[in-house]
């Protein structure tokens, strides 16, 4: 059974008197452990699709099964629960809490999941170590470079051991070198069994995924599996070199 199963999902927004069809009967499935890139120009519906898959929004019509559970009719509280337990998010603008240490940022989902303090610290430290930031645990987010911040965000996404990580233009604010580092991380996560859904408009970034879905006008235009995907590991055979910390406007 697929992890994500969308059946005829539509999303209609009302902007005054005008109805905007962001998604038109999208049917789409993602198997577990897959690494899918969703591409499309702005207005193609890819962000709406990501919001629905990420349980931040509900479809106007159609059904959405996440890990076998129908989630399209859940209320705000239950959706929050699903986001906390099953999902991890990585955003373009990092969205870390400012003036808060990396460790505490990573602990945040566990806090809302009700994990006891001791276990929270241990798991957050472990997640930071996994993204190569064990030595930065007590740095505040504004003391870190963009690449480091995004790695903290990845650690925050994977600390709850989610089934699915949804990444919205995660490399949009990063230079090409750190882009490679982050993509390497995602490939590594996919290899260890976490399904990754990546939204991007850069073909270079989509090239790292195993499967590319192209959206246009609220519909899926093409859905291709990339046999010869680019491996980020080759480019970062040497451990990632940290950039000098500098102020980043998040």
Partner 1 sequence: MIPLETFRVALRALLRNKMRSFLTVLGIIIGVGAVIAMVAIGEGAKAQVEASFASMGSNLLIVLPGSTTSGGARGGFGSMPTLTWDDLGAIQREAPAVRYAAVQLRSSAQLMSDDQNWATQVNGTSPDYFRIRNWKADRGRLLLDSDVESSAKVVVLGATVVDKLYGAVDPLGQTVRIKNIPFEVVGVMEKKGQSPTGQDYDDCAFVPQTTFMTKIQGGLQKFISGTIFLGATSTEATARAQQQVSDLLRDRHHLDNGADDDFSIHNLTEMANAREEGTRTLTTLLASIAGVSLLVGGIGIMNIMLVSVTERTREIGVRMAVGATPSNILLQFLVEALTLAVAGGMVGVALGVFTAGRLAAKFGWPTLVRPDIVVISVCFSGMVGVVFGLYPARKASQLDPIDALRYE
Q: What are the two backbone dihedrals, phi and then psi, of residue 48, each rounded to the nearest 5 degrees? A: -60, -45
- Residue 176, classed as helix, strand or coil, is helix
Range 113-152, binding partner 1 (CB under 8 A): 113-114, 117
Residue 158 or 185: the one with the smaller Cβ distance to partner 1 is 158
Identify the bridge partners of residue 89 per DSSP, sorted by sequence position.
Answer: 166
Give the number of C-alpha atoms closer than 13 A to the C-alpha of residue 140, restricted to the C-beta side: 9
User: Which one of residues 60, 95, 142, 226 is an interface residue with partner 1 (CB under 8 A)?
Assistant: 95
Contact status: 76 vs partner 1 (CB under 8 A): yes
- Residue 56 touching partner 1 (CB under 8 A): yes
Stretch that binds partner 1, among 35-43, 93-101, 129-137, 171-179 (CB under 8 A): 93-101
Distance CA 141, CA 97 (A): 7
Segment near partner 1 (CB under 8 A); pick from 22-30, 36-44, 77-85, 199-207: 77-85
CB-nearer residue toward partner 1: 61 or 82: 82
> What string of DSSP letters covers 103-135?
HHHHHHHHHHHT--HHHHHHHHHHHHHHTT-GG
Burial 4-32 (b: 16+ CB within 10 A, else e): bbbbebbbeeeeeeeeebbbbebebebee
Q: Give the binding range for partner 1 (CB under 8 A) out of 80-88, 179-187, 196-204, 215-223.
A: 80-88
14 touches partner 1 (CB under 8 A): no
Task: Say whether residue 22 binds partner 1 (CB under 8 A).
Answer: no
Burial string for 106-142 (b: 16+ CB within 10 Å, else e) reads: bbbbbeeeebeeeebbebbbebbebbbbeebbebbbe
Strands 195-199 and 211-216: unpaired
Binding pattern for the stretch 151-190 against partner 1, x by CB under 8 A and - elsewhere = -----x---x------------------------------
Stretch that binds partner 1, among 27-35, 76-84, 124-132, 178-186 (CB under 8 A): 76-84
Binding stretches for partner 1 (CB under 8 A): 51, 54, 56-57, 76-77, 80-81, 83-85, 89, 91, 95-97, 99, 108-109, 111-114, 117, 156, 160
């Amino acid at each position: 059974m697929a992890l994500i199963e969308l059946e005829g999902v539509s999303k209609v927004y009302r902007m005054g008197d005008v109805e905007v069809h962001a998604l038109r009967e999208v049917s789409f499935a993602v198997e577990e452990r897959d690494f899918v890139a969703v591409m499309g120009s702005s207005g193609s519906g890819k962000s709406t699709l990501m919001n629905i898959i990420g349980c931040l929004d509900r479809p106007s019509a159609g059904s959405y099964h996440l890990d076998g559970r129908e989630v399209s009719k859940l209320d705000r509280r239950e959706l929050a629960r699903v986001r906390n337990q099953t999902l991890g998010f990585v955003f373009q603008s990092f969205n870390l809490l400012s003036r808060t240490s990396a460790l505490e940022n990573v602990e945040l989902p566990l806090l809302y999941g009700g994990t006891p303090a001791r276990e929270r610290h241990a798991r957050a430290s472990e997640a930071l170590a996994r993204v190569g930031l064990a030595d930065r645990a007590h740095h505040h987010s504004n003391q870190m470079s963009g690449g480091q911040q995004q790695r903290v965000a990845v650690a925050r996404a994977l600390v709850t051991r989610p089934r699915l990580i949804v990444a919205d233009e995660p490399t949009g604010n990063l230079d090409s070198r750190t882009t490679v580092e982050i993509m390497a991380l995602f490939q590594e996560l996919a290899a260890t069994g976490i399904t990754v859904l990546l939204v991007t408009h850069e073909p270079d970034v989509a090239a790292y995924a195993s499967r590319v879905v192209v959206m246009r006008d609220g519909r899926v235009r093409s859905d291709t599996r990339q046999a010869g995907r680019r491996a980020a590991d080759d480019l970062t055979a040497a451990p990632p070199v940290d950039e000098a910390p500098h102020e980043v406007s998040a």
